[in-house]
Each structure stands twice: as C-alpha cells, then as structure tokens.
A and B are shown apart, each in its own frame.
Chain A
Amino acid sequence: MELRNIEAIIKPGTPHFVGDGFRVYNFIPKAGQLSMQRMDPFIMMDYHADFYFPPSAKPKGVGAHPHRGFETVTIVYKGKLAHHDSSGNSGVIGEGDIQWMTAASGILHQEYHEQEFSKTGGNVHMVQLWVNLPARDKKSKPKYQDISKDTVGKYTLPEQNGTIEVIAGSYMNVKGPAFTFTPIHLLHAKLHKGGIAVFDFPAYFNTGLLVIEGNIRINDNRIAATNEFVLLENKGTTFTVEANEQAIILVFSGEPINEPIVSQGPFVMNTHEELNDAFMDYNMGRFGFMDE
C-alpha cells in the first residue's frame, strides 16, 4: 500500500481531425513521454474532447480503414456513433456505451456519426484507446464486445463519494464485463463534489488517468483539470483522487506485454516482416473490400 506518485500531468496539445468526423487530441503515443513502450499495453489514446458538430446531411466520419494486431476500445460520453465492417457487422454506440473491438488478425471498417444524430447535429465527446495484444493472440479471430452503461460493473463508494464503473478488470469486489487477453483495469470514477476514491494497482502496471469532466486533486497534492492526462509512476501502488467539483475520470492500468512493438499506421505487430505482410494483405484484399 505504498503511495504512488504522479510522474506527469499532460495538457492536451493541438487537435487534429481523423477523417472529417473526429476532432481529437492525441495523448498516446505523441504527447510528452507517453510512448507506446511507456504505456504498454495501451498503445494509442485519441481523446475527442467535447465538441459541437452542426447538422449534416451526409454523416461525418472516417472512411474504410484496417486494423491488425490489437484492440480498439471506443467510449462515448456524448454523441452517437455508427460503424460497419467488411464482414457485415455493424452497430451504433451511444452515450454511456463502450465498444471493445478485437481487431486481432484483421478488420476493415468505417466509423462515422450515426445518421439521425448527423441530421440534428450535436456534441461528440469520446475516447478511443488501443490495447495491444500479445504475439500469441495477434492473429486470433476478430470479435466485438458491446458494453453498455447497464452492463458495466458498478461499485458504490461509501458516504456519497460517488461510483466506480468497471469496464474491464476489477475494483474492490466488482468485476468488469469485458474480456481482456492480458491483465487490464479500465474504470470510470464518477465522483460527487468532494468525493474521494482510492486506487491500488501493481507498481509495474502502466497506469494513467484522463479527466473527462471536472477538476480533481491527486494524493492531496496536485490538481488536474478537465481534458488533462495524468501519468502515474511505476513506484508504489496506491493513489487517491478527490473531486474538487463533480468529476468523471477514466482510470486505466495494465500489465505491460513487454514484447517488441513494430508498428505503422493501423498495424501493430512484433516484426518488420509481419508489418510488411499486413500491408501486402491489405493491398491484396485479404481484409475484404469497402467503398471509400
């Protein structure tokens, strides 16, 4: 139960557009020291801070693109997203929903604002987190896990402090519904003003927080504001979060996979040969076909 201190608090940099539908701040791997190796198994985090999109007849989004070798976790706070892939799978992710997509051996898909949402316009607020897979699982069969606000694990903190919602891993005795290939905890801390939560993860698990809403104090010591990323050290296990004002915090902690990472764009493999194979497979149509 040794205290775990903050390694860095990182403000969002300059946003960029993914396609025409997603205006994101990249934290992992481009901000500060948040490299793929430092944050293993969390190899990418794009944060879509709250942003208004005016009505659009044609849904905005990002055109067909592949993924191989990892999982994408999409968490929607505001807005409604749709997706479909080259195998015919499709779905809608609304407020409070989480899509845990295991791309593994390969998925070709499109992601865009849902049709009706596009017509009325509205705010989009979401996170996309990429979770690496160990070598033995990179070629496994692609699959989806759809998790809603009703199926997350819920732990009510004592004394009206708030709630911890568990997507994957566990908090106290409450487990999250998501299956993960390696040990990972992915939680939301929803704290009332003045609410406190204590977190305890193994020191060697790479651990961070993202302040989705509100303003927090960590370890009675440092403040992190909305849209800021907090990196915790790999020393000590325990840290506390107190909400200076009502807050929603995304908390993630995972066991590093510690295998070589050879990546380019949407492919995250272990060797250059595997990376070259991924490009060749995509170019030769082995991921399927979708109109751009």
Chain B
Amino acid sequence: MYLKENMGMTATEIARLLPRLHKKSVSKNTFLLRQGDQCPNAFFVESGLLRSYTIDDTGKDHIIQFAPENWFISDRSSAYFHEPSLVFIEAIEDSMVIVLDQYYNDFIREIPSYKEKNEMLLQNHIRHLQNRINALLGATAEARYLDFIRLYPSVSLRVPQWMIASYLGVTPESLSRVRKDLANRHYR
C-alpha cells in the first residue's frame, strides 16, 4: 500500500490510521473543490481519474495536474496556507478518493520517518514543477507530449485530446500534429 511504501509507515501505524480516514465517492463531472473555496483537505485517488484546473478570463481551461490511481491532488494555497483555492478539482471518471484531512496531517507528523520521507516527496515535487515550468516556457510540443506520456502513460486513453492539449499548453491542432508525426515515424 502507498502509505507503507512511500511514508515508511509500519503495519501498526497503518492499522491505527486507516479506520479514521474516510473515503468519498465522486461521480464523473462533479467537483471536489471550486476556485475560491477554502478546503483544508488533500485527496488520494484510490480509483478513477481527477484533474485540477483553472479557467482564464476568456473561459479557457488550463489543466494543472491529472490524478489517476495512487496520485495525490490538492490546492496548496487552500490545504496548507488556508487561502482561497486557485483551482477546480473535478472528477473525469467516477472515482473513489481518500480524504486526507487535518487528522491525517497531524497523524503523519508523529511518524518517525515522516520528516525524511516528506522532505523527499516535497523536493521531488518541486523538481517536477520546475521541469514543468521549464517545458511550458520553451519546450517543443513534441517534447512536452513525451514528458506527459512518461508521467501519465494511461491518461491519454482516458481523456479527450483537448484536455491533453490544455495540460501541455498547446493547441489541440499542435497535439494532433505531434501524434500524427510520431505515427508516421513509428507505425509499421
């Protein structure tokens, strides 16, 4: 289980924690969080697929993150800093999430391995975000697409193309061109 592998929790600790966590079923196209809400919770995806996104002044979606199985999703401003959320978190498929509330945060802070594990997770996340900023600033559409398929191998088959384009920061036409190009090089 994720908790054991990534947080280094023992079986006893897990047994104490799990009954106190609650699961939430989220139907396709419903929201866990809306822009402007204050929500102290993060979410762990047990099954299904969610996305976090913003909507700009022209009404266009910008997808920040996808969260398939075993991913976390939250708005940091809201969850950690108690500020209004910047993002919407919406289910793309019928999903089951585990709600990581204040009890969870307090609990894991008491785990001996927490400091070390959490530091590693945060550093990794910052590295990932730096790479993503860099890609969005200057990488070609193809390079962005290749990063995407490495990070989310199955998501391309679970979402419409416009969502992938939104995540990549390219037009759907550019994405289509990249995929066609790859097929021309690799098919048969």
B154 touches A264 (CB 8 A): yes
B160 touches A292 (CB 8 A): yes
B183 touches A288 (CB 8 A): yes
A100 at the interface (CB under 8 A from B): no
B139 at the interface (CB under 8 A from A): no
Enumerate chain B residues within 8 angstroms of A192, measured Cβ to Cβ.
none
A284 at the interface (CB under 8 A from B): yes
A289 at the interface (CB under 8 A from B): yes
A266 at the interface (CB under 8 A from B): yes
B176 at the interface (CB under 8 A from A): yes
B22 at the interface (CB under 8 A from A): no
Q: Which of B138-187 contact A (CB under 8 A)?
A: 149, 153-154, 156-158, 160-161, 176, 179-187
Task: Say how far B140's CB is from chain A's closest CB, in angstroms.
Answer: 16
Count B interface residues, CB 8 Å: 19
B153 touches A285 (CB 8 A): no
Closest-by-CB residue of A relative to B153 is: A279
Enumerate chain B residues within 8 angstroms of A65, measured Cβ to Cβ.
157
B157 touches A282 (CB 8 A): yes
Main secondary structure of the interface of A (DSSP, over half): loop
A286 at the interface (CB under 8 A from B): yes
Q: Which of A267-292 contact B (CB under 8 A)?
A: 276, 279-280, 282-289, 291-292
Task: Say how far A288's CB is from chain B's closest CB, in angstroms.
Answer: 4
**Looking at B153, B180, B185, which has the most chain A CB atoms within 10 Å of its CB?**
B153
B176 touches A283 (CB 8 A): no
Closest-by-CB residue of B relative to A64 is: B161
B156 touches A282 (CB 8 A): yes
Q: Residues of B at under 8 Å CB distance from A?
A: 149, 153-154, 156-158, 160-161, 176, 179-188
Taking A264-B154, A284-B186 as given, write out 14 further A-B residue pairs in contact, using a Cβ cutoff of 8 Å, ordered by the A residue number: A86-B187, A279-B149, A279-B154, A279-B157, A283-B156, A284-B182, A285-B180, A285-B183, A286-B186, A286-B187, A287-B183, A288-B183, A289-B180, A289-B182
Q: Residues of A at under 8 Å CB distance from B?
A: 65-66, 86, 264-266, 276, 279-280, 282-289, 291-292
Could you list 12 examples of A-B contacts with CB < 8 Å? Answer: A265-B154, A265-B158, A279-B153, A282-B156, A284-B182, A285-B181, A286-B186, A287-B187, A288-B188, A289-B179, A289-B182, A289-B187
